[in-house]
């Protein structure tokens, strides 16, 4: 493949449509339109060169360097902050798919409350992100299937299985005829996924540009019946970790994309037309926005936990100190979960919980079906403020 070759636009093929329903709709029976549709035929990209304009290349390189610096700046604070940033990334990725819930609802769902559907689905996304990081050294089709299996566990969307039916973007849920975009026919999915993951494993490309293009190609393939966006953004985190851009922390890139979802979707459309610049630029800008938002969150958490320590004055290495740190990184929990996670007997945990409640650091609440739950409302407020900032459309010239 010549380095001068432009990035190819996706092709198309005409396919016959046969309704999945037992009875065709009135429109399908009487419409004069032919019952055929155009499905995408993405190019193979595993060996293609990335030709970037000087401006796009400089932007991507600068964003990549900022991600590396941010990751390194947290040092030993990772024990406390990494889980919160991971959850924030999962929540932002879900919000792009119109799934939102408060930090309290998400963290309560994480310890077993399945009463709120959105929160439960976001917890699934958190677990998918965790699996993506665990599989960062693999970057294979099978690792992507594992991410999806974790994400969609308990649903009827064939978790971890490539789709065997058409998927499309359009106004009709019944038919791809006339749809805005129809993903490749399912027989192409396995080969296309092997190809894009071979592209993702290459070590001769500028990393942030490679991540953005692999993500856009994945979203074009749309290999699953549902959960493609969330799985595709989990893949972003897996690539960033596997290529040593983020060695310790999950930078909430989805929170950056969330600040201008329309621009993100427009960039995916441009990619399918053969223009890779916009999706690389959006990924770079999203990384920069995410870092600014995460730094604000971390500053709030630092101030909060420093205030706690000044108030409580725990002895270094004591059980009280361990419970105090636990409340910062797991701001909704039960005495049983704290006991299990910290290796402290339940009877020994309760006095520390009550003491922190007396200082106003923890609140004890009774949750339906959950019994007594302990909450750190200051941390929950900081997480909700992070989500609110992420949802504000960026104002750029």
232 is an annotated ligand-binding site residue: yes
171 Cβ neighbours under 8 A, 6+ residues apart? 179
DSSP SS3 for 241: helix
Instruction: Please choose, from the candidates 283, 270, 230, 232, the residue with its C-alpha nearest in 3D space to the C-alpha of residue 96.
Output: 230
Annotated binding residue at 296? Answer: no
Task: Map residue 384 onto helix, strand or coil.
Answer: helix
Catalytic residues: 222
E-strand stretches of 110-235: 168-169, 181-182
- Cβ count within 10 A of residue 46: 15
241 is in an annotated binding site: no
- Is 229 annotated as contributing to ligand binding? yes
Cα angle 139, 233, 157; round to 5: 90
Which residue spans within the chain are E strands per DSSP?
Answer: 11-16, 36-41, 168-169, 181-182, 332-333, 363-367, 371-375
Q: Which two tokens stand for residue 388?
A: 């609110």
Query: Does 226 count as an annotated binding residue?
Result: yes
Task: Determine the Cα–Cα distance for residues 330 and 166; give it in Å rounded to an integer.
Answer: 41
227 known ligand binder: yes
Alpha carbon dihedral 78, 79, 80, 86, in 10-degree steps, equals 70
Q: Both tokens of residue 372?
A: 């007594």
Structural Rg of the chain based on CA atoms: 23
CB 215 within 8 A of CB 238: no
The strand pairing partners of 41, in sequence order, are: 11
* 92: number of Cβ within 10 Å: 28
Contact 128/148 with Cβ under 8 angstroms?
yes
- Interatomic CA distance for residues 118 and 10, integer angstroms: 34
Known binding residues for ATP: 226-233
Known binding residues: 226-233
């Amino acid at each position: 493949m010549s380095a001068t070759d432009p990035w190819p636009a996706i092709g198309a093929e005409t396919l016959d449509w046969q309704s999945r329903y037992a009875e065709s709709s009135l429109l399908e029976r009487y419409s004069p339109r032919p019952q055929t549709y155009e499905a995408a035929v993405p190019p193979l990209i595993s060996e293609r060169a990335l030709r970037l304009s000087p401006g796009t290349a400089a932007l991507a390189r600068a964003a990549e360097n900022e991600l590396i610096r941010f990751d390194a700046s947290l040092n030993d604070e990772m024990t406390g902050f990494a889980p919160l940033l991971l959850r924030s990334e999962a929540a932002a990725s879900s919000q792009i798919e119109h799934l939102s819930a408060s930090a309290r609802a998400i963290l309560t769902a994480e310890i077993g409350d399945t009463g709120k559907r959105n929160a439960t689905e976001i917890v699934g996304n958190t677990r998918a992100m965790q699996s993506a990081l665990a599989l960062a050294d693999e970057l294979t089709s099978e690792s992507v299937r594992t991410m999806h299996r974790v994400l969609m566990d308990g649903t009827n969307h064939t978790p971890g299985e490539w789709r065997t039916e058409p998927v499309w973007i359009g106004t009709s849920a019944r038919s791809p005829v006339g749809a805005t975009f129809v993903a490749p026919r399912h027989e192409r999915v396995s080969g296309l996924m092997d190809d894009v993951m071979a592209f993702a494993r290459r070590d001769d490309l500028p990393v942030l540009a490679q991540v953005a293009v692999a993500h856009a190609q994945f979203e074009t393939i749309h290999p699953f019946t549902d959960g493609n966006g969330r799985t595709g953004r989990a893949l972003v985190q897996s690539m960033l970790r596997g290529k040593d851009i983020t060695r310790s922390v999950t930078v909430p890139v989805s929170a950056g994309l969330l600040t201008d979802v329309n621009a993100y979707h427009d960039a995916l459309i441009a990619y399918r037309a053969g223009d890779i610049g916009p999706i690389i630029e959006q990924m770079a800008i999203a990384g920069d926005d995410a870092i600014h938002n995460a730094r604000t969150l971390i500053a709030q958490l630092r101030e909060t936990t420093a205030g706690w320590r000044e108030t409580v004055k725990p002895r270094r290495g004591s059980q009280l100190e361990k419970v105090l740190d636990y409340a910062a990184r797991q701001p909704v929990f039960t005495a049983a979960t704290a006991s299990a996670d910290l290796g402290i007997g339940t009877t020994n945990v309760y006095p520390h919980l009550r003491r922190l409640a007396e200082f106003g650091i923890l609140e004890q609440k009774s949750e339906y079906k959950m019994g007594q739950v302990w909450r750190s409302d200051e941390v929950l407020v900081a997480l909700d403020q992070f989500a609110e900032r992420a949802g504000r459309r960026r104002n750029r010239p």
